[in-house]
Structure 1
Amino acid sequence: MLLYYFRLAMLSIKKTPLLSFLMIATIAVGIAATMVTYTVNYMMSQDPVPGKSERLFTVHLSSWDPNMGYRIKDGKEDIPIFMTYQDATNLYADKKAHKQTIISFHKAMVRGAEQPSGQATMTYLRPTTHEFFSMLDVPFLYGSPWTEYDDSQGSMVVVLSKKKNEQLFQGQNSLGQEVIIGGSIYRVIGVLDDWLPLPRFYTENSDAYSEPRGLFFPFQSSINNDWFSGTDGSVYCWGGVDLIDLDAVKASECVWLFYWVELESAELRNEYLAYINSYAQEQRELGRFQREQMNRVMNVAEFIEYNEVVKKDGRIAVWLAAAFLIACLLNSMSLMMTKFHGKGAEVGLRRAVGASKVDIARQFFCETLIIGLSGGVIGLALAQLGLHITAQVYSYLHSELMDMNLSLMLLTIGLSVLSSALFGLYPIYRACQIQPSSQLKSL
């Protein structure tokens, strides 16, 4: 019986091709606009470390100038999201967490040892510690991270991103090969597999949707080589520090390092915060940390929200797109009412020969489902086109932000069918109220 109603619905659509096309096109445009904005916002808001984000915490200390606040956020004085060298190394040496890592930054000219110097390219580097890879579930294509001993010695070893390995060694197994970084020779001990945490939560929000850096090497190695650049990342200082002198920066109150810890369970958060407060009190007694103590540990989701990685403008855009979809659906509903009203004679005749109101409702409901499904399919194609155009316009964002996964594709079709069905209920109700006698008189 259901197949019969769908056949009637298809005949009805063929009899009124213009109205049917306008309804489908209206729904398709509204669905496409909504899903383009929702897809980008959804991809930006995903959990970058599923299963671990509740146990990963970034540590912030009230170590700023006692005579001048760091900044004002939401009308209140705030503390730095970065840490000084002496605090990061002190906490790292204590090893009070299950795992901990220091995350820094640098950039230098990089080339393979067999390549001529003219082929060296400026590359953004990531000095860090060996725990970084296990804490963030970083996958390896070849080799493995360096060891704790390499960290302590500042060994000249390097892990390449998959993309950088393709640039330097054509994607081959490069373990044991040499890479020249800023004039120093490093040995490749690992190559990452495809890895793109979105958002890239562990650094500044300006880097949240770009690719991970091309090379990773021991943080102590950058210190040993006297590598520091105040222009590659954010460095905030007070007290008149010469940023050219790394020893001066290390001994200063300049904040520039990210510090992340992994706890064995989220419930240990308060215990670890107590340790941080105790450390801050010790530093206060030594003459540092003279401002109000607002030390904190923030998990991944909290830091993403605090760091405004997902801009409020994106959420507003989703709501505006949803409002546009509703406007499109209202227009489609108006067209449905016009169409169903024009079929009054047919409805009256069917009622006269024994069709019930339920039969009429089923026929028209099947028609709205077909229109919704058609609008969804075309809307999906338009959304894919819109995402492609968005990727070209916002080329600084990673292309994976503009890719619909299967669940989003199904959501697109489902949203179109469901919304069309809901907004078609009133026109269907009005059509079912048509009196056979009044229509038959006009035949």
Structure 2
Amino acid sequence: MLFYYIKLAIYSLKRTPLLSFLMISTISIGIAATMITYTVSYMMNKDPIPSKSERLFTVHLSTWGIDNMYRMRDGKEEIPVFVTYQDAMNLYNAQKAPKQTIIGSYKAMTRSSEQPVKDATSTYIRSTTYEFFEMFNTPFIYGSGWSASEDEEGAQVVILSKKRNEKLFGGQNSIGKEVLIGGILHRVVGVFDDWPLIPRFYLEEFDALTEVRDMFVPFRTQMNNEWVASKDSSIYCWGEFELSDFHSVINSECVWLYFWIELESAEHRDEYLDFVNNYAQEQRLLGRFQREQMNRVLDVNESINHSNVMGDDSKVAVWLAAAFLFACLLNSMSLMMTKFHGKGGEVGLRRAIGASRQDIALQFGLETFIVGLLGGIIGLGLANLGLLVTAEVYSHLNAELMKMNIEIVITTLLLSIVTSTLFGLYPIYRACKIEPSSQLKSL
């Protein structure tokens, strides 16, 4: 019997091709617009590393002087998300967490050792310690991270992104090959695989949605080469300093390094925060940390919320897309009412020969289900096309933000089917209320 009603529903759609096309198109456009904005929003806000997001923490210190503030947030004084070089080294060397890592940044001209000088490109490079790769579940195609001994000595080694490896070495295994960074030869020890860590929570909000850096080197290597420049990374300073002088920067109160730790469990956070507060008090006695102490130890999701990666504009866009979908569904409902009203004679005849109101509701319900399914499938295609265009327009953002996962695909189809069925209930109700006698007289 169900198969019979499906046949009736398909036949009904074929009999009114224009109305059917308009209903399906209206739903598919609304679904596409909604899912484009929802996909970007979902990818921005999902837990990027659920296996350990409650055990990874970033450390923020109240390092500013008495006459200096980092910035204001919601009318209150804010503290930096960065730490100074001396604080990063003090916390790192204390080894109070099972794992900790320092994350820096700089820019240099880079090329493979086989390329001519004219092919060198200006590259933003990420510097870090060897624990970084295990802490953040970094996937490798070739090789691995550098060793603890290479980290300590500041070896001239480099890890390439998959994209940069393809540009320099055609995507082949490049372990052992050499890359020139700032005129200094670095040996390739690893190549990242695709790394769907979105957002990159270990960075500031404007970096969290960008592609992974093309090259990673040991933090000690950056320090040994004295590669620090204010124009190449975010640096905020107070007191006496000279940004053009390397030693002045690392001995100053300039904050420019991220510091992350991994604890055995979330329950150890308070213990580590006590250590941080005690450290801050020691520094205060030495004449540093002169402002109110608001030191923080934030886990991954708290850090994402604090950085406001999503942004208010994106939230507004999602609501506007939802409003557009609602308008599309209202239009589709109007078209359904027109279609079902035009089938009054057919309904009256079927009722006269024994069909119940439940039979009529089932037939038209299946018709709205098919409309929603087709609208969802077409909307899914339009949404993916829209995401491709968005990825081209916003090429500075991570391309992974513009890709639907299986959860979003299923959500898209279900949203289309459920909403079209819900908005079809009233037209179906009106059709079921048609009296056979009134319609048979007009036949």
Question: Structure 1 length as normaliser, TM-score?
Answer: 0.97
What is the aligned partner in structure 2 of residue 9 from structure 1?
Answer: 9
CA distance in 1, matches of 2:408, 2:379: 12
What is the aligned partner in structure 2 of residue 263 from structure 1?
Answer: 263
Give the deviation of 1:71 after TM superposition.
1.0
CA distance in 1, matches of 2:173, 2:391: 32
Contact 1:159–1:189, Cα closer than 8 Å, also in 2: yes
CA distance in 2, matches of 1:7, 1:185: 71
CA distance in 1, matches of 2:382, 2:174: 43
Give the deviation of 1:177 after TM superposition.
2.2
Flag the 1:282–1:117 CA change in 2: closer, same or farther, 3 A.
same
Contact 2:240–2:252, Cα closer than 8 Å, also in 1: no
What is the aligned partner in structure 2 of residue 109 from structure 1?
Answer: 109
For residues 274-285 of structure 1, the aligned pairs below 5 Å read 274-285=274-285
- SS of corresponding position for 1:58: strand
Give the deviation of 1:311 after TM superposition.
1.5
What is the aligned partner in structure 1 of residue 399 from structure 2?
Answer: 399
What is the aligned partner in structure 2 of residue 428 from structure 1?
Answer: 428
Give the deviation of 1:76 after TM superposition.
0.7
Question: What does the per-residue CA deviation read over 1:17-55, in whole Å, with 9 as the maximum and x for residues that have no partner?
Answer: 222221111111111111111111112222222311111
Q: For 2:235, give the aligned amino acid.
A: V
Question: What does the per-residue CA deviation read over 1:104-138, in whole Å, with 9 as the maximum and x for residues that have no partner?
Answer: 00111112223322222211111110001111111
What is the aligned partner in structure 2 of residue 36 from structure 1?
Answer: 36
For residues 109-188 of structure 1, the aligned pairs below 5 Å read 109-188=109-188
CA distance in 2, matches of 1:161, 1:214: 5
- SS of corresponding position for 1:207: coil
CA distance in 2, matches of 1:402, 1:176: 34
Contact 2:159–2:191, Cα closer than 8 Å, also in 1: yes
Q: For 2:175, give the aligned amino acid.
A: L
CA distance in 2, matches of 1:267, 1:8: 61
Question: What does the per-residue CA deviation read over 1:275-313, in whole Å, with 9 as the maximum and x for residues that have no partner?
Answer: 100100111111111111000011111111111111221
Question: What does the per-residue CA deviation read over 1:227-246, in whole Å, with 9 as the maximum and x for residues that have no partner?
Answer: 11111111001114101111
Contact 1:48–1:199, Cα closer than 8 Å, also in 2: yes
Q: For 2:206, give the aligned amino acid.
A: S
Contact 2:64–2:291, Cα closer than 8 Å, also in 1: yes
- SS of corresponding position for 1:23: helix
Contact 2:107–2:232, Cα closer than 8 Å, also in 1: yes
Q: For 1:71, give the aligned amino acid.
A: R
- SS of corresponding position for 2:255: coil
What is the aligned partner in structure 1 of residue 247 from structure 2?
Answer: 247
* Residue 79 of structure 1 pairs with residue 79 of structure 2: yes
CA distance in 2, matches of 1:382, 1:140: 33
CA distance in 1, matches of 2:193, 2:11: 54
- SS of corresponding position for 1:105: strand
Q: Which stretch has the larger CA shift, 325-334 or 376-385?
A: 376-385
- SS of corresponding position for 1:217: strand
CA distance in 2, matches of 1:10, 1:220: 69
Q: For 2:266, give the aligned amino acid.
A: A
Structure 1 vs Structure 2 CA RMSD: 1.4
* Percent identity for Structure 1 against Structure 2: 63
Give the deviation of 1:196 after TM superposition.
3.9
Q: For 2:123, give the aligned amino acid.
A: T
What is the aligned partner in structure 1 of residue 213 from structure 2?
Answer: 213
Contact 2:344–2:439, Cα closer than 8 Å, also in 1: yes
Contact 2:110–2:180, Cα closer than 8 Å, also in 1: yes
* Residue 339 of structure 1 pairs with residue 339 of structure 2: yes
Q: For 1:376, give the aligned amino acid.
A: G
CA distance in 1, matches of 2:18, 2:423: 20
What is the aligned partner in structure 2 of residue 416 from structure 1?
Answer: 416
CA distance in 2, matches of 1:374, 1:19: 14
For residues 184-195 of structure 1, the aligned pairs below 5 Å read 184-195=184-195
Give the deviation of 1:319 after TM superposition.
1.4
- SS of corresponding position for 1:205: coil
Give the deviation of 1:182 after TM superposition.
0.8
What is the aligned partner in structure 2 of residue 235 from structure 1?
Answer: 235
What is the aligned partner in structure 1 of residue 293 from structure 2?
Answer: 293
Regions of 4+ moved over 4 Å? none
Q: For 1:136, give the aligned amino acid.
A: F
Q: For 1:292, give the aligned amino acid.
A: E
Q: For 1:262, give the aligned amino acid.
A: E
Aligned residue pairs total 443
Q: For 1:216, give the aligned amino acid.
A: F
Give the deviation of 1:202 after TM superposition.
1.0
- SS of corresponding position for 1:247: helix
Give the deviation of 1:189 after TM superposition.
2.1
Question: What does the per-residue CA deviation read over 1:368-409, in whole Å, with 9 as the maximum and x for residues that have no partner?
Answer: 111111211221222122112212221222222222223322
- SS of corresponding position for 1:409: helix
Q: Which stretch has the larger CA shift, 92-101 or 212-221?
A: 212-221
Contact 1:196–1:212, Cα closer than 8 Å, also in 2: no
CA distance in 2, matches of 1:372, 1:133: 45
- SS of corresponding position for 1:124: strand
